[in-house]
Structure 1
Amino acid sequence: MVTKTADDELLFAGDPAERPVGKQSGHPPPWRVLIVDDDPDVHTTTTFALRGTEILGRAITFLHADSAAQARDILTNDRDIAVILLDVVMEEEDSGLKLVRIIREDFGMGETRIILRTGQPGYAPEMDAIRDYDINDYKTKSELTRNKLFTALTSAVRSYRQIRTINENRRGLDLIVRASGELLALSGIRNFAAGIITQMSALLGVMPEGLICVQRPPEIELAEDGTLVIAAAGRYASLINLPIDEIGNERVFNSLNRCLDEEHHIFEADSTTLFFGSRTHRNMAAYLDAPIDIDDSSRQLLEVFCTNISIGLENTLLFSQLHDYAYFDSLTGLPNRRSLINKLDERLLGGERGRYSLALIDLDGFAETNDALGHQYGDELLKAVAERIRSILGPQCTLARLSADTFAVLGQIELLLPANLQALFRDAFVIQEQELMIASTMGIAHLVDVDGNGAEALKDAYLALRRAKTHARGEYMFFTRDMATEIRERSKLMQALRVAIERQRLFLCYQPQISLVTGQVIGLEALLRWRAEDGRLIEPSRFIPIAEHSGMIVSIGDWVLRMSCFQQAELSRHGFKNLSMAINVSVGQFRHPRFLAALQGALADSGVDPRLIELEITESMAMEEADLLAKTLDSIKGLGVRIAIDDFGTGFSSLSYLQRLQVDRLKIDRAFVAEITHSERARRIPELVIQLGHKLGLTVLAEGVEEQEQADILLQLGCEDAQGFYYARPMEPQQLIDWLRAYPVCSPDGGAPNDA
């Protein structure tokens, strides 16, 4: 029996006390020690010395090799070795050292501890061997008494365990990072939950048999306390989408409920239930149909994994919410514009695009209803409209809400016939116990007529809707390829107009106005022209509406106003002092808050007599904007500027505005002048306009006079003034001056002609 001495004893803080093998709980696997030595006695004495001994609470089992070659064979197939007791000299003088290099480099066994033993202490330099060959200890065989052997082996095992734990933790963390990354790549809470089962089972080395439930998931409409199975695998796969109180397994139900109530993991003999918390209280619990036998280190890794999952859950819930915001309308729950475009892309890529159409439904007068009855009423109306369309057209159609009062329906052509769509609004809607009839205007596009993707299809349907709102409100219009061509041309023209403004391609021409009584020039009308880069003149009827629609008309109109005033002043300097200057003004200009300031600036900077400036507004503008114009026109009249109503007779639906607006002249539209020589009946409207003007104390000018006979008839009817190609075409300034020098000019007050 070996007697222990004080020198031989070495106690380690935290090491478990020795206890017989088989008494420990759970029977942890023994430490495996490989003895490599060509001396059989070394194997026998080492085994005998440590028989029945435990190190750090675990038994020891030995493997034996009589040579370096035999050790290589063992390690080729079995590398789960904690410590190798290695002789230096065996087949060759340095066989042990060569084996160390093979163990470390060829086999990659960096965790295994190596204790080099030699019976020839002076043979190998101790420091060099440890440094160069990654040896953990170096002992002579004579040193290794039982206690010293136990001490050296305990130190090596402790080092092995620490390194292995560190490496396992690192590998575990790598797995967690990779698993977490793969989970975060999954979209939607259901995919995320299904991924948890897969990743967690792989991480813990168990079969993917289990389920995951979530409390009040955001994308499922449940009761306040509802908890739903959102992912399941293995024999639990059929339970997906069930509330947990309906899964029919009391043991699983109790484990999940207890986990969610107590908010911590539950480790049982035959199962594991893990808790994943959420700051929004949408907690998850995962039930695995397998026990997990883990030590403290593994438990820490599991906690790290669960923490990562909880963070991922928060992100997934956030992403789900953002997804809902991005693809669904928050008021009605319907798909929104982006979602509809995705669906359109699917249909357009399919081979049946000829079977489908897209209808846009715009609620007429919704803004007024919303303002009059309140936003809550308007919201309820929108939800009622959505519900009626959805319930009548059914799930075979995709319904979306695109804007405040515009819905879209994508479906087969036979389902979206205009009559079917209009029938949706035949009955009143009952909102807050009130019946409300709603009309709608629709634009419909067949997908077979669409060139491009879903966004193009939606744009085409909008073209049809806008055309319907302009020309057939309360009805419908189908998209045609001509509409697309027209809008592209308008877009090109708009861009070209912007460039033309920058490059000063716009200019003014002036058309003389003639007194039918005296035949003399009494004034001019400034007319805007655009000469393209290739020298072509672009018709005002093409670019003026675009300028008005785009808002460019305000800056253009201010420029026309100033140029016309300066041109009148320039004519005065050439001796044509009493010619009036008529300037067309758009409704956009009148609405602009700085219009009066712009007019005053043009008058002041040019030095023109305000009485010689006449602003022309259209009849439609005067009728529709009478209240807006009344105050502005009063201010304009206060400056001494005259006012004329252009294109008079084209509206003629109301004359009350003439009593409210201070105007000086009516201009008969050229359409009536063109017909005046055809029949007595064609003269009636010009005659009525002339009589009306005289009754109101206004002068009357006829536009578009191209023949002597037209001028004669107008004079007979009492019209004072005229302009048109019969007298002169619009001219640029220098040409105008040359023309005026050859034509008699009189002042507006009937004075003598100017000498030119």
Structure 2
Amino acid sequence: MPASNPPDGVAQEEDLVFADEAPAPAHGPADGAAQDKSARAAPDAWRVMVVDDDADVHSTTTFALAGLEVHGRSLQFVHAHSRAQAERLLAHEPELAVILLDVVMEQADAGLHLVRHIRDTLGMHDVRIILRTGQPGYAPEMDAIRGYDINDYRTKSELTRTKLYTSVAAAIRAYQQIRALEDSREALAQVVRANAGLMALHSVDDVAHGILAEASRLLGQHPDGLLCACRRDGPDGPWAVLASAGASAALAPAALLDAGAGPAAAAIARCFATRANTIRDGVLALYLPSKSGVDFAAALPLARPHEPIQPLRRSLLEVFASSIAVSLDNVALMTDLQRAAFYDPLTGLPNRTRLVELLEARLPVDPAAGDGAGADPVLCLVDIDHFAETNDALGHQFGDALLAAVAHRLRARLDARADAGVSLARIGSDVFCVLGPATEVDPHALGALFASPFSIEGQDVRVSATLGLVRLREHEGNGADALKDADIALKRAKTQQRGGHFWFSRSMGVEIRERVRMMHALRSGFTRGELFLNFQPQVDLSRRRAFGAEALLRWRPEDGRLVPPDRFIPIAEYSGLIIEIGEWVLRQACLELMRVRAAGHLDFTMSVNVSQVQFRHPNFLEMVARALADTCAPPECIELEITESMAMEEPGLLIERLAQLKRLGVSIAIDDFGTGFSSLSYLQRLQVDRLKIDRAFVSEITGSARGSSIAEMVIELGRNLGLSIVAEGVEDERQAQILHALGCPLAQGYLFARPLPADQLIEWLDGEALSPAA
């Protein structure tokens, strides 16, 4: 019988054509060539299994189909004489095209059970099954075909040679179509997996090698070839080699390649010239365009140069080449993102994030290692002095030009020392960083770089720089901690002398970290209610009766030990938490005043300290007015205390702010008077009501003529200005008597009472007569 036509679904001409391809004679697959499911080597014959317990059926079937071909390929038979034997053979026959199966063998339904085993247990869904029976009507044909996924159902008597061939040929055609669909599905899945894998890579080197590996896998061979890049305005080469493998692996990445460097290079040249995929001289070249302004080409020497590439592989390579541009564009995007994430766009220097990575690479430093102090790594921050003023006065464009000039000068000195392990970075608007051995990172040499002016837009600009340095050998912690330590040293240098430098010490770090720890603890403690007020009574020295009290802030953490106010109040001011705490203090003091008044002590004043940060806050007046309104405290019974140093700063602002406070009805006292340098003429302009003599002068009043004279001067000054006077820190009766004799009417201190909790203040006031404290 003549051979049948080519199988359905296989085109005579390929739609996707490689340019410049010459036909090649067909040969068998090369020994050892890699194979995959997406493009299987065609078997020499269709394998057909005959399963029947009648030996005559085997011989008759073999005789009837002997010498016949289906789609140009002969038939090869596998024989099983029972269901059990068939199951054993099927475990090792994955490429069967057709099974001719007897329904009735060991049991009446042995054939149908074997069908279920083939489909469900072995998972062989591609093989076509033709059921045959010698007992017509044994099993309903429609039920068997529908329920058991079989290709045909025939009685043995009706299967003549012609009908048998027709049934087998139809089953083989169906099998071939199913395999073609499955191969296409698996092939497309392979391309999708390849692209997904490449999309997950973020470096040019990884993606380039990945492209070579995936393209070689689609060809069914081991990785071999080159991947090159060229700009679209220069396709004639030389081209940058991005990756190489196999016989070309000797070409290092970033090497340059021209068309005369061999068959692979010539294929690259043709590919860039035609902007198309090509096959010539046993080399496949894939053109890989991208949107980044750079095109790519991969040259892959074929492991079987005389064997035509199978149509399915061709299609896969075409799809792969057209889709891989997304990965290349993704790499270009990731490169841009990486540069934006790790490098300063103005100067091109590493930024803070990259610097921390460089520091991490050098830490920890072994104190026992190195060749001496000169080799110890040093981190130095270089801050341009008064850059903000220059930027504001001359504009951001001028400021950017100055920064670029500074970076250029630092580079000119340090790039020549890159081999010595010196790195340069820009980590802030006007802060540069130098990292390297102590011999290279010398503060005097770096400072000297700013001795000569910078030429900016035709102007000579002189700037200085302040430096903060830390020796990494003495540092404990990670890269970010080292940067913080250098910043601490820089801040200390700024406070001491602009244009100088300061080295970080461990004691500085301990101090700063303790302040930070206390700041967090104070914030948490305030939230948990660990802060409270004590009230120190203020008395009239003539009558020895209380006329008011000063509210004093206290902090008792969870461990129960009081933290001194001179430790936590400066931290609250530095952190800004004093704004929130100060409002709470004023409210609590007003509420306590109302409780005292409710207890019958109507002629009573509550004094509240106000910090400089709090006083300068733009919402301070509104806060005071709101506290008075919410608590219904009479303003005339509230006294706000400010320090003498506050009174002497920004006179215009202070005078206006005090006038606004006075309009609210509250009184003003100047605390710690005598410790500053008040101007008497200025003091006359302030609308204050009371001066408080500092406890330092009160403590010296009994043993120092100087202390007595200062206290007497303050008392006289208050009398002349019409101001009330309160002496602080009165601890014994002798001090009280001297103050009274000098004309001081009011006092407070341990002589009368220690600071009292809120629940004891009213009890103390109800005691009527005051006696000196023991």
Q: TM-score, normalised by structure 1?
A: 0.74
Q: 1:282 to 1:586 in 2, by over 3 A?
A: farther
Aligned counterpart in structure 2 of residue 232 of structure 1, from 235, 238, 244: 244
Q: CA deviation at 1:506?
A: 0.6
- Does the aligned pair in 2 maintain the 1:33–1:60 contact within 8 Å? yes
Match of 1:196 among 211, 232, 244: 211
| Matching residue of 1:339 | 354
Equivalent of 1:271 in 283, 293, 309: 283
1:638 CA displacement: 2.8
The aligned counterpart of 1:32 is 45
Deviations, residues 256-282 of structure 1 (Å, cap 9, x unaligned): 466467654334452222234445555
Assess if the C-alpha contact under 8 Å between 1:500 and 1:532 holds in 2: no
1:279-358 counterparts in 2 under 5 A? 279-290=291-302, 293-306=308-321, 309-348=324-363, 351=366, 355-358=376-379
Tell which has more relative contact order, 1 or 2 (C-alpha 8 A, sep 6+): 2
| Preserved CA contact (<8 Å) 1:360 1:465 | yes
What is the one-letter code of the residue matched to 2:552?
Answer: L
Q: Does 1:487 align with 2:513?
A: yes
Distance 1:681 1:15 in 2: 115
Which of these residues, 56, 73, 79, is aligned with residue 60 of structure 1? 73
**What is the aligned partner in structure 1 of residue 534 from structure 2?**
508
Residues 526-550 of structure 1: per-residue CA shift (max 9 Å, x gap): 3222344565433111221222233
Q: Is it true that 1:168 corresponds to 2:183 in the alignment?
A: yes
Q: 1:521 to 1:105 in 2, by over 3 A?
A: closer
1:84 Cα offset (Å) = 7.6
Q: Rate the CA distance shift 1:548–1:485 in 2: closer, same or farther, 3 A.
A: closer
Distance of aligned partners of 1:712 and 1:364 in 2 relative to their CA distance in 1, 3 Å threshold: farther
- For residues 321 and 47 of structure 1, the distance between their equivalents in structure 2, rounded to whole angstroms, comes to 67
Distance 2:583 2:737 in 1: 37
SS in 2 for 1:287: strand
- The more displaced of 671-680 and 366-375 is 671-680
The residue aligned with 2:32 is: none
Q: Residue 528 of structure 1 aligns to which amino acid in structure 2?
A: L
* 1:373 and 2:394 correspond: yes
**Cα distance, 1:705–1:293 mapped onto 2, change above 3 Å:** farther
The answer (yes or no) to whether the contact 2:260–2:266 under 8 Å persists in 1 is no
1:561/1:602 contact within 8 Å kept: yes
CA contact (8 A) 1:31 1:61 kept: yes
Q: Is residue 623 of structure 2 the alignment partner of residue 598 of structure 1?
A: yes
Q: Deviations over 1:648-686 (max 9, x none)?
A: 565549899758754455555445665677777778987
For residues 155 and 294 of structure 2, the distance between their equivalents in structure 1, rounded to whole angstroms, comes to 61
Q: Identify if the C-alpha distance between structure 1 residues 503 and 611 changes in structure 2 by more than 3 Å, giving closer, same or farther.
A: closer
SS at match of 1:339: helix
Q: Which amino acid aligns with 2:553?
A: L
Q: Does the alignment pair 1:211 with 2:239?
A: no
Equivalent of 2:576 in 551, 554, 558: 551
Residues 348, 242 of structure 1: alpha-carbon distance in 2 compared, 3 angstrom cutoff: closer
* Change beyond 3 A, Cα 1:548–1:301: same
* Conserved 8 A contact 1:460-1:484: no
In structure 1, C-alpha distance between the alignment counterparts of 2:11 and 2:669, rounded to whole Å = 109
CA contact 2:425–2:434 (8 Å) conserved in 1:
yes
Q: Which residue of 1 aligns with 2:555?
A: 530
1:135 Cα deviation (Å)?
A: 6.2
8 Å contact from structure 1 (residues 353, 447) kept in 2: no
Q: Bigger shift: 106-115 or 627-636?
A: 106-115
Q: 1:235 to 1:10 in 2, by over 3 A?
A: closer
Measured after TM superposition, the shift of residue 558 of structure 1 is 2.0
Conserved 8 A contact 1:111-1:163? yes
What secondary structure is seen at the aligned counterpart in 2 of 1:187? coil
- Kindly report which structure 2 residues correspond to 1:177-192, keeping only aligned pairs within 5 A, or say none: 177-192=192-207
Kindly indicate whether the alpha-carbon contact (under 8 Å) linking 1:494 and 1:547 is maintained by their aligned counterparts in 2: no
Q: 1:241 to 1:673 in 2, by over 3 A?
A: farther
Aligned to 1:478: 504
Is the 8 Å Cα contact of residues 511 and 527 (structure 1) preserved in structure 2?
A: no
What is the aligned length? Answer: 719
Distance 1:75 1:604 in 2: 95
The 3 A distance-change label for structure 1 pair 484 and 84 is: same
How far residue 196 of structure 1 moved from its aligned partner, in angstroms, is 1.5
Letter in 2 for 1:444: V
Are 1:742 and 2:742 matched, yes or no? no
Q: Which residue of 1 aligns with 2:525?
A: 499
Q: SS in structure 1 opposite 2:287?
A: strand
CA contact (8 A) 1:613 1:641 kept: yes
Q: Secondary structure at the match of 2:285?
A: strand
* In 2: Cα distance, 1:409 partner to 1:42 partner: 88
Q: Structure 2 CA distance, aligned partners of 1:86 and 1:570?
A: 104
* TM-score (ref. length: structure 2): 0.73
- 1:437 aligned counterpart, secondary structure: coil
Between 649-658 and 376-385, report the one with greater CA deviation: 649-658
Asked if the contact 2:546–2:765 (Cα under 8 Å) also holds between the matched residues in 1, the reply is no
Corresponding letter in the other structure for 2:299: Y
Q: Per-residue CA shift, 1:331-365, capped at 9, x if unaligned? A: 44444444344444443357569744444444443
CA contact (8 A) 1:33 1:85 kept: no
State the alpha-carbon separation in 2 of the partners of residues 206 and 172 from structure 1. 15
For the residues of structure 2 that align with 1:115 and 1:523, how far apart are their CA atoms? 111
In terms of mean alpha carbon deviation, does 700-709 or 498-507 score higher?
700-709
**1:432 equivalent in structure 2:** 457
Aligned residues of 1:510 and 1:736 also touching (Cα < 8 A): no
Q: 1:68, 1:99 within 8 Å by CA — same for their partners in 2? A: no
2:15 paired residue number: none
Change (3 A) 1:357 1:265: same
CA contact (8 A) 2:539 2:547 kept: yes
Distance 1:259 1:654 in 2: 88
Please say if 1:249 is aligned against 2:239. no
- Structure 1 residue 9: Cα displacement: 11
Q: Distance in 1 between matches of 2:4 and 2:267?
A: 49
- Equivalent position SS for 2:762: helix
Letter in 2 for 1:60: R
Q: Distance between the aligned counterparts of 2:213 and 2:750, measured in 1?
A: 86
1:587 aligns with 2:612: yes
For residue 528 of structure 1, give the secondary structure of its aligned residue in structure 2.
Answer: strand
Q: 1:170 to 1:606 in 2, by over 3 A?
A: closer
Structure 1 residues 145 and 523, CA gap change in structure 2 (3 angstroms): closer
Unaligned runs of 5+ in 1: 18-22, 745-756
Task: Give the match's secondary structure for 1:168.
Answer: helix
Identity %: 42
SS in 2 for 1:537: coil
Q: What code does the residue aligned with 2:398 have?
A: Y
Counterpart-to-counterpart distance in 2, 1:524 and 1:135: 105
Q: Which amino acid aligns with 2:472?
A: H
The 8 Å contact of residues 544 and 769 in structure 2, kept in 1 or not, is answered as: no
Q: Which moved more, 1:230-239 or 1:685-694?
A: 685-694
Q: Taking structure 1 as reference, are residues 357 and 518 closer, same or farther at Cα in structure 2, changes over 3 Å only? A: farther
Q: Is the 8 A contact 1:418 1:476 kept in 2?
A: no
Q: Which amino acid aligns with 1:483?
A: G
For the residues of structure 1 that align with 2:592 and 2:125, how far apart are their CA atoms? Answer: 96
Alignment map for 1:697-712 (pairs within 5 Å)? 703-704=728-729
* More deviation, 179-188/667-676: 667-676
- The aligned amino acid for 1:162 is Q
- C-alpha distance in 1, partners of 2:260/2:707? 90
TM-superposition CA deviations, 1:292-349 (whole Å, max 9, x none): 9444433333344345533333444444444444444444444444434444444335
